[in-house]
Amino acid sequence: MEKFTEETIRRRMHGLYLSRKCDDIVDLSNELLGLHCWFHRNVAFSAVIRGAGLAGWKERLIKTWLYRGTLHGVDYSELPLLLALHADAVPWAWFGIPDEQADEVAEEVIALMNDGVYSRAEMRKIFADRFERETVERLFSPWGGIFVYLARQGRVSFRNMTSRDFDLINAEPTLTRAEALDILLRRFFEVYGPATTADAEWFFGLKKGEASGFEPRGLRIIGSNERSVYYCSNVDVDDLPDIPHITLLSGFDPYIVSYTDRGAALPDEYRKAVILKSGICLPTIAIDGQVAGLWNIKKNEPIVEFFTPQPKRIERAALDMVAEMAFKTHGQI
């Protein structure tokens, strides 16, 4: 392994709590700027992998849409900051109705929630006589529909981490987009670095070049070549823990999905086996910081599949780690 790749892995694993522990799931979510929640069990997996307990986790975190339109489990108090980047994004054109009418629907949805209507199924019935079926399906789509817009404004979120129903919240952004971006970029590089501005733009769903003016005061600047500049925390790499020999990674683990170039963690020959055509990123096993296989839990039984033959001791150790994961999450997900 070349020196720059080794340093990148060592720094990222430390920043993302893969070579150290974070014992509180809310603190972990704050550090990682949210826990990816396409499937809610991946939040539990990610937390356990990083040393956090699951007591009360379904209520302690808020499930809502953040950057790139993806669901995350986040700390309620962080929402005004995290939502500030995309609070003004209006998806009205996708609904196929005039902007003014869509805005009226949004306000009516809020009024209905104040009256105790919290599910998409009930909303579909209420609006069925007012719009064509296709429009109703878009407004109250399983992918979020109009709730995505209201969530971006900090007005609604899912009731808890596993619920499909919604609740009213009061987490409207208080900072301007520019103010929030400066704070979030700094936090991103501190935890996710070494990373480039292109990585940050991907992570936060920004336009190309939008992070290029970032002032990296207090950060360390390193590079693999003169054309690639990476920012990271100012900690000396020799003061960081060693790369763990075996590491479980959750589905959609931030160690894999947070970068435009995933080669340091995910060898190209395994990419299609890990990230499916549907966009789903499977739970993986890393050997010395690089993905080498898949794991899963089915009917509470551990499953391990390496891409290439591994020593028996590695196979046994990985299977034991997945079995421990099954034990710690049983009844919790």
Tell the residue number behind the tokens 């014992």, with chain if given: 23
- Distance, CA of 193 to chain centre: 16
DSSP string, 233-258: -SS-GGGSPPPPSEEEE-TT-HHHHT
pTM of the model: 0.93
Is 250 in contact with 28 (CB distance < 8 Å)? no
Please give the mean pLDDT across all residues of the chain: 94
Tell the residue number behind the tokens 């006589």, with chain if given: 129
At 85, list the tokens: 């980047």
DSSP string, 156-179: EEESSSS-SSEEE------S-HHH
Please count the other Cβ atoms lying within 10 Å of the Cβ belonging to residue 31. 17
Is the pLDDT reported for residue 95 higher than 70? yes
Question: How many CA atoms lie less than 13 Å away from 158 in the CB half-sphere?
Answer: 25
Tens digit of each residue's pLDDT (9 = 90 or more) over 50-86: 999 999 999 999 999 998 889 999 999 999 999 999 8
pLDDT band, very low/low/confident/very high, at 100 (cuts 50, 70, 90): confident
The one-letter code for the residue type at 100 is E
Q: What percent of the chain has pLDDT over 70?
A: 98
